[in-house]
């Protein structure tokens, strides 16, 4: 069973599963320690099944949010929203690939990458921090937070102590961020209570020594914990990967009685409790959850918990990940929105769950909760219709020659975007079979669109990997083009070599085609900047459309793409992410800070559209 299926079931299990049989209560509501991160050293200890802060029991009431999924301008607002809900801790992932895109090239300052600033904002607001720095995080993020450059090595084995290239990259990552994290630890006067060693490792492997080596890397930088792990209880029982001496976080489970003997004297807590859920492209609707009864029980019994997510945010750019089975089948890419059905929605509004949870938390608080912050303003804008701006086919770079298809990562060191395969074929009608499309291909013969192949399986999509090519009426050889678009890399389970592009053979009838010309089309900033405008009308799919949106006032907005097919949307050069009429998402969130007064440039690349459709601005994710 896929992890996201398994945890979905346990997340919705009634509270009857919350078990404390035979184990001492960790801390009662009347005993809650409310010590704040005040800049002085504090010590969190794991003993007697409890979290002890400066010798007093502490109930960690945590909510997860990720700086990488939130515009930096809204960090403070989201932190204050969590505090006003009644939480005392913010849990954060650090996405390694957001901080190091190329080997040794770290960016820890620009945009929403300055995690030190985010953590200091938490401290300023009187919030503790639970830090989850990876190296692997899952989180429905591209490649589970691992940098896709690792996939440029054909035989890489990630999450393994026995792969020297992987471990060298991990050491470089930890060597870079650990000196920044060290002064943030609570015992050094910072707000970080504890640090997670990897994430959900039992769902991947069983080498406990791998986790011990990761812990040792942190300790070598003076970070002495306390440490925690987080995983599904069933996986931990099967793989025996509990790291001795760490807090044991349960994901989607509340069976503390079964888990406590595994942890010994260390506390067992809810490492991830799910008030909402992730959504894939093709789901019938946005996923939600029902966590009220479970949260009520956790509060009544004084259990520490981490709500995943309290605020999800957005998978901007290429950052959305994917899930699949261990054999790479049943591929399920994650939508651009990471709203997650969380109590604080994508643009920072309090949902009905927020107010329900706030009332529960307020009943167990030792002092009144802060007022709920005002929601940032939102704007609508009237429908505008873009115009054709540039054709992909007029903006092809010089091709490279390859004998047979290869993954983009191996061929071009390309992590995301498109790739084009081109060669001559005979004029006769024939069946084209594409064995390794990752993840969506459109097929053309002599510039005419023929059909598509999708790795995603869905009732609304054509099945199979075979395309019937019509005869070339003009006779002679014709040109075959295969344009391949990628979703995010699988970030969970055993399918951790999810390379993109064409990764297997292409057959014309029974013949395997070789000797291709291949173009790299990463859709990155440099490629977009150099686009040459299209001349005249184009009837060939693969068009960039542009619109100018004039704004007299700024605010958050959801840009409605329901009239379009499948592609990408940029606002003033910022890639909001992917859209797809498969749904359920039809609107992409744009924060106010990415707009500007006056003229704004909206750029669309669509895989199928040859005629523009109107787009408009709305104030909600749902239509």
> Of 272, 332, 346, 409, which residue is the catalytic one?
272
3-state SS, residue 215? helix
Instruction: Tokens for 545, please give them.
Output: 């459309």
DSSP lists the bridge partners of residue 526 as none
With the CA atoms of 9, 15, 17 and 21 taken in that order, what torsion angle do they form, in degrees rounded to the nearest 10?
160
**If you count DSSP H runs as helices and E runs as strands, how many of each does the chain have, helices first?**
12, 36
> Of 64, 140, 198, 200, which residue is the catalytic one?
200
Which contacts of 69-73 are long-range, i.e. CB under 8 A and separated by 24 or more positions? 69/112, 69/312, 69/313, 69/314, 69/315, 69/316, 69/319, 69/338, 70/112, 70/311, 70/313, 70/314, 71/112, 71/591, 71/593, 71/594, 72/111, 72/112, 72/114, 72/117, 72/118, 73/591, 73/592, 73/593
Q: What value, to the nearest 5°, has the Cα angle with vertex 615 and ends 614 and 621?
A: 145
CA–CA separation, 249 vs 272, rounded Å? 7
Per the annotation, the verdict on 272 as an active-site residue is: yes
DSSP lists the bridge partners of residue 419 as 484, 520
Q: Do 161 and 209 touch, CB atoms closer than 8 A?
A: yes
Q: Cis omega before residue 428 (within 30°)?
A: no
Print the SS3 string covering 42-103. CCEEEECCEEEECCEECCCEEEECCHHHCCHHHHHHHHHHHHHHCCCEEEEECCHHHHEEEC
3-state SS, residue 586? coil
Number of Cβ within 10 Å of residue 604's Cβ equals 23
């990471």: which residue's tokens? 338
Residues in the chain, total: 623
CA–CA separation, 394 vs 538, rounded Å? 11
Residue 349 carries which DSSP code? Answer: P
Number of Cβ within 10 Å of residue 524's Cβ equals 15
Q: Do 345 and 351 touch, CB atoms closer than 8 A?
A: yes
Q: How many CA atoms does the CB half-sphere of 480 hold within 13 Å?
A: 30
Give the pairing of strands 448-454 and 440-445. Answer: antiparallel
Q: Do 469 and 511 touch, CB atoms closer than 8 A?
A: no
Cα–Cα nearest to 443, from 522, 511, 541: 541
Per the annotation, the verdict on 511 as an active-site residue is: no
Question: Which segments of 282-377 does DSSP mark as H helices, in order?
Answer: 292-300, 352-363
Print the SS3 string covering 444-464. EECCEEEEEEECCCCCCCCCC
Which residue numbers are catalytic?
Answer: 200, 272
């Amino acid at each position: 069973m896929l992890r996201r299926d398994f945890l979905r079931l346990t997340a919705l299990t009634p509270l009857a599963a919350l078990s404390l049989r035979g184990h001492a209560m960790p801390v009662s509501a009347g005993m809650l320690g409310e010590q704040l991160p005040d800049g002085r050293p504090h010590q969190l200890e794991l003993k007697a099944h409890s979290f002890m802060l400066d010798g007093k029991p502490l109930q960690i009431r945590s909510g997860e949010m990720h700086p990488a999924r939130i515009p930096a301008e809204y960090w403070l607002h989201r932190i204050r929203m969590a505090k006003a809900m009644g939480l005392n801790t913010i849990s954060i992932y650090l996405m390694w690939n957001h901080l190091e895109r190329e080997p040794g090239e770290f960016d820890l300052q620009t945009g929403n990458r300055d995690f030190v600033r985010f953590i200091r904002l938490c401290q300023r607001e009187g919030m503790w921090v639970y830090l989850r720095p990876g190296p692997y995080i899952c989180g429905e993020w591209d490649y589970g937070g691992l940098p896709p450059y690792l996939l440029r090595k054909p035989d890489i084995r990630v999450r393994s102590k026995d792969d020297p290239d992987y471990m060298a990259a991990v050491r470089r990552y930890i060597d870079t961020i650990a000196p920044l994290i060290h002064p943030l630890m609570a015992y050094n006067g910072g707000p970080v209570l504890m640090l997670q060693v990897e994430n959900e490792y039992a769902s991947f492997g069983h080498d406990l020594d791998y986790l011990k080596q990761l812990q040792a890397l942190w300790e070598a930088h003076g970070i002495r914990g306390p440490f925690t792990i987080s995983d599904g209880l069933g996986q931990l029982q099967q793989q025996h990967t509990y790291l001795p001496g760490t807090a044991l976080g349960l994901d989607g489970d509340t069976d503390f009685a079964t888990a406590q003997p595994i942890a010994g004297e260390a506390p067992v807590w809810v490492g991830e409790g799910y008030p909402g859920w992730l959504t894939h492209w093709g789901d019938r609707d946005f996923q939600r959850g029902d966590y009220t009864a479970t949260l009520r029980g956790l509060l009544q019994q004084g259990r520490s918990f981490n709500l995943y997510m309290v605020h999800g945010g957005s998978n901007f750019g290429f950052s959305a990940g994917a899930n699949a089975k261990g054999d790479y089948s049943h591929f399920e890419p994650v939508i651009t929105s990471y709203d997650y059905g969380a109590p604080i929605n994508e643009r920072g509004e309090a949902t009905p769950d927020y107010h329900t949870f706030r009332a529960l938390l307020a009943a167990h608080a030792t002092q009144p909760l802060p007022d709920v912050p005002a929601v940032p303003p939102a704007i609508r804008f009237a429908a505008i219709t873009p115009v054709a701006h540039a054709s992909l086919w007029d903006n092809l770079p010089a091709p490279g020659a390859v004998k047979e298809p290869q993954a983009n990562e191996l061929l071009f060191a390309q992590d995301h975007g498109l790739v084009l395969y081109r060669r001559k074929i005979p004029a006769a009608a024939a069946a084209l079979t594409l064995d390794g499309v990752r993840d969506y291909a459109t097929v053309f013969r002599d510039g005419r669109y023929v059909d598509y192949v999708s790795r995603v399986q869905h009732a609304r999509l054509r099945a199979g990997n075979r395309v019937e090519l019509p005869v070339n009426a003009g006779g002679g050889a014709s040109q075959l083009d295969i344009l391949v678009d990628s979703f995010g890399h699988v970030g969970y389970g055993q399918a951790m070599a999810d390379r993109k592009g064409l990764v297997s053979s292409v057959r014309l009838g029974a013949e395997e085609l070789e000797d291709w010309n291949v173009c790299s089309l990463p859709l990155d900033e440099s490629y977009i900047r150099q686009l040459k405008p299209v001349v005249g009308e184009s009837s060939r799919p693969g068009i960039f459309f542009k619109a100018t949106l004039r704004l007299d006032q700024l605010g958050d907005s959801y840009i409605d793409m329901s009239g379009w097919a499948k592609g990408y949307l940029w606002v003033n050069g910022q890639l909001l992410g992917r859209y797809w009429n498969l749904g359920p998402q039809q609107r992409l969130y744009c924060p106010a800070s990415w707009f500007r007064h006056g003229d704004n440039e909206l750029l669309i690349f669509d895989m199928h559209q040859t005629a523009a459709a109107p787009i408009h601005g709305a104030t909600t994710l749902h239509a």
